[in-house]
C-alpha cells in the first residue's frame, strides 16, 4: 500500500509527520524499533517529535544510513539525530561503531548484528527515509553496489560520483519493515518524486517492492510535478 500526504509547507509537514510517528510509537504493545533518516529534511520533524508526550521507554532507535565520518562530525546523521531528538528522550539509540583503524565494511556487519538483536526476529516497526534529488534513499545511490544486495540488511556502500563511504540499510531490511515513512520537501525534489510515482526505475521507487506499507509525507513544492 502506498499513501501520499501533501502539506502546504515544510513546517506543516514536520508537525504532521511528528504526530503520525507519535501515533505509531504510542500504539505499540511493548517494544518498538524506529529507524531514523539522515540529511536535513527530518530535522524539523525530530524537533517537533521530541516535544510530544510519548513513552519512549520501550523504543529502540537506529539509523537508516550514516556517513562514514567521526560520530561528532558535523555531517554525521547520528550527531544530527542526537542533537534534534535522541539526546532529549529516553529511547535507546544504537549507532554504528566508528573509531581507530576500523573500516566502513567492518562497522557494517557489527551494526548489522546490533540491529538483528534489536529486531529480535520481528519486522522493523517503522523506518523513516528521505530522498535525494537523484532519487537515492538512505545511502542507496543510483549505480552503487548496495542497490543489488539481497543477503544482508546493512552494508557499507560507496557513492559512485564522489567515492564517499557510507553505511546503509539495504532493500531486504526496508522491504521487511512493517511501515516506511518518506519525508520529502522542496522544489528540488519534485522531478525525482514525479519519477518515483511514474514508475521510472530509481532507488526510492523500489522501496515499495516488499511487504512494507509506504507512507509519503511531502510538501506542496516537492509534489508540484505530480500528475
Q: Distance of alpha carbon 178 from its chain centroid, rounded?
A: 14
Sign of CA dihedral 49, 126, 173, 96: positive
Do the beta carbons of residue 162 and residue 65 sit within 8 Å?
no
Asked if 219 interacts with ligand 6PG (CB under 6 A), we say no
Asked if 157 interacts with ligand 6PG (CB under 6 A), we say no
Between β-strands 165-169 and 154-158, what pairing exists: parallel, antiparallel or unpaired? antiparallel
Asked if 182 interacts with ligand 6PG (CB under 6 A), we say no
Distance in angstroms (rounded) separating the CA atoms of residues 98 and 27: 34
Sign of CA dihedral 61, 8, 11, 219: positive
Interface map 96-135 toward ligand 6PG (x if CB under 6 A): ----------------------------------xxx---
- Of 74-103, binders to ligand 6PG (CB under 6 A) are 77
Which residue has the closest beta carbon to ligand 6PG?
Answer: 130
Distance in angstroms (rounded) separating the CA atoms of residues 135 and 119: 27
The residue range among 84-92, 99-107, 137-145, 191-199 that interacts with ligand 6PG, by the rule CB under 6 A, is 137-145
Helix (H, G, I), strand (E, B) or coil at 26: helix
Pick one of 10, 108, 135, 138: the residue that binds ligand 6PG (CB under 6 A). 138
What residues contact residue 46 under an 8 Å CB cut-off, 6+ apart? 18, 36, 81, 84, 85
The least distance separating ligand 6PG from the CB of residue 220, rounded to whole angstroms, comes to 16
Asked if 38 interacts with ligand 6PG (CB under 6 A), we say yes
Asked if 137 interacts with ligand 6PG (CB under 6 A), we say yes
Complex with ligand 6PG: residue 121 or 164, whichever CB lies closer? 164
Complex with ligand 6PG: residue 37 or 59, whichever CB lies closer? 37
Distance in angstroms (rounded) separating the CA atoms of residues 186 and 176: 29
Distance in angstroms (rounded) separating the CA atoms of residues 221 and 186: 5
Interface map 42-71 toward ligand 6PG (x if CB under 6 A): -----------------------x-x----
Binding-site ranges for ligand 6PG (CB under 6 A): 37-41, 65, 67, 77, 130-132, 136-139
Amino acid at each position: 500500500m502506498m499513501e501520499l500526504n501533501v502539506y502546504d509547507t515544510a513546517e506543516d509537514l514536520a508537525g504532521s509527520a511528528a504526530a503520525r510517528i507519535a501515533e505509531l510509537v504510542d500504539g505499540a504493545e511493548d517494544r518498538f524499533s524506529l529507524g531514523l533518516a539522515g540529511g536535513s529534511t527530518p530535522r524539523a520533524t525530530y524537533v517537533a517529535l521530541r516535544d510530544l508526550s510519548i513513552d519512549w521507554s520501550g523504543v529502540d532507535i537506529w539509523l537508516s544510513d550514516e556517513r562514514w565520518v567521526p560520530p561528532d562530525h558535523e555531517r554525521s546523521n547520528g550527531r544530527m539525530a542526537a542533537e534534534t531528538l535522541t539526546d532529549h528522550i529516553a529511547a535507546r539509540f544504537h549507532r554504528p561503531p566508528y573509531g581507530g583503524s576500523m573500516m566502513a565494511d567492518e562497522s557494517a556487519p557489527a551494526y548489522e548484528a546490533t540491529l538483528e538483536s534489536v529486531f529480535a526476529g520481528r519486522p522493523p516497526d517503522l523506518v523513516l527515509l528521505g530522498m535525494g534529488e537523484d532519487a537515492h534513499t538512505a545511502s542507496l545511490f543510483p549505480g552503487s553496489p548496495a542497490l543489488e544486495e539481497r543477503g544482508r540488511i546493512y552494508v557499507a556502500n560507496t557513492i559512485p560520483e564522489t567515492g564517499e563511504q557510507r553505511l546503509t540499510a539495504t532493500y531486504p531490511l526496508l522491504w521487511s519493515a512493517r511501515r516506511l515513512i518518506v519525508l520529502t520537501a522542496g522544489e528540488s525534489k519534485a522531478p525525482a518524486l514525479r519519477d518515483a510515482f511514474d514508475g521510472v526505475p530509481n532507488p526510492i521507487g523500489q522501496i515499495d517492492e516488499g511487504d512494507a506499507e509506504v507512507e509519503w509525507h511531502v510538501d506542496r513544492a516537492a509534489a508540484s510535478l505530480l500528475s
